[in-house]
Copies of this chain bind each other. A is one copy, B any other.
Amino acid sequence: MELIGHSVTGSTNIHADAEYPVRAHVRKARVLLTVECLAFSFQYDALKILLFKGGSNGLNKWSFAQAVVGENESPDDTARCLMRGSTGISTAFLEQLHTSDGIIKLPGERVVSVTYISLMNGFKLDENAGNNLGNKWFHLDKLPKLRNDQREMINCAINHLRYKAALHPLLFELLPDRFTIPQVQNLYDSVYNAQIDKRNFSKRLLSTGLLIKTADKDRSSKKGASYYQLNKDLYNPRSLSLIKLLPNLHTFTGR
């Protein structure tokens, strides 16, 4: 560690005294900056996570989407570009989860990775997009063999997603522009691995005022469920104001 600019003498380290010892000569780290995306989507009534074959692990191992941050890019840019490039669609919601400690990975090179959680709209995905790129969407209960630290990262990301989505209307990013209430409930049931009471869920959902009923119905079921749209005037997945869509908010736990 080297303190920045707190010196009036030109010395780089005015705190190197007996009481608050700081190493006198710290070699400044120049690091290779990468991003890593844990990408989720909702397809076929289930939450999916995106994995790639042939990552830094080895050619036949699965891992997350990763990219090196270019000289003229921000990490956010890189993450968006990575996701677009590897799925063909834009990221609906992107958030930094954590910046890694920067353990030595490549020989002689320190790599610091910014980990993102990324929500991709499964309904905009081309069915075949990415198949030739070696990526695949996995059901969370049907994951391939992964390193333990990768499993942990997935758990961490899911917990984060559940946490955020319990408080904010984040998950609508995973739905098409028009959706039905049973569809929303399937999404929440899938994310929380739960069976939420449909009467109470629909009451909570409608009471947010975020949904606008349309005249059309989804005709894939016998009775047909009404389509709803988001009220764009109110909807903001990043809003700090809290919504409540889940019962027993204080008791939910991880998978």
Contact = CB atoms under 8 A, between A and B. Distances in A.
A15 B86 contact: yes
Interface in A35-68: 52, 54-57, 59, 66-68
Contacts of A96: 98-99
A249 to B, nearest CB: 6
**Copies of this subunit:** 2
Interface stretch (A18-26, A198-206, A221-229): A18-26
Contacts of A186: none
Contacts of A99: 75, 96, 99, 114
A5 B55 contact: yes
Contacts of A77: 1
A78 interface: yes
Interface of A: 1-8, 14-15, 19-23, 26-34, 52, 54-57, 59, 66-71, 73-78, 81-82, 84-86, 88, 96, 98-99, 101-102, 110, 112, 114, 133-134, 159, 163, 167, 240-244, 249-251, 253-254
B28 A31 contact: no
A166 to B, nearest CB: 9
B20 A67 contact: no
Contact of A29 (B4, B26, B71): B71
Nearest to A244: B250
A240 B86 CA distance: 32
Can you list the 4 inter-chain pairs with the closest CB atoms, starting with the nearest?
Answer: A74-B101, A26-B70, A4-B66, A2-B68
A85 B27 contact: no
A133 B15 contact: yes
B3 A85 contact: yes
Nearest to A73: B1
Contacts of A134: 6
A27 B71 CA distance: 6
Nearest to A22: B85
Nearest to A162: B240
Contacts of A3: 66-68, 82, 85-86
Given A67-B3, A81-B22, A31 B34 contact: no
B73 A29 contact: yes
A71 B23 contact: no
B52 A6 contact: yes
